[in-house]
Amino acid sequence: MAEKSNVEWGPCCFCGKNIQAEMPDPLRITAETSAGKWQVWFAHAECFKKRLADPPEAPGFFNPAHF
């Protein structure tokens, strides 16, 4: 059973639709900018998976995506 999250979910950074904690696998993406600052983006797992691209040096790296 999944643990209840206290995260306040924002809209998906890809599709713009609201994210509900009950949805399958919502995620937070934490990224460091080139200026050394951190940003947190929210996404639906399916929206994120659609945008994954295998690096040329590692074909099949994201197949299957384990999230």
DSSP 2: P
In whole angstroms, give the CA distance from residue 3 to residue 1: 6
Q: What pTM does this model have?
A: 0.65
The span from the CA of 5 to the CA of 7, in Å, is: 5
Of residues 61 and 42, which shows the higher confidence score? 42
Q: How many CB atoms lie within 10 A of CB 48?
A: 19
Per-residue confidence band for 4, with pLDDT thresholds at 50, 70 and 90: low
Per-residue model confidence as pLDDT tens digits over 8-56: 888 999 999 999 877 677 888 899 989 999 999 999 988 888 888 888 8
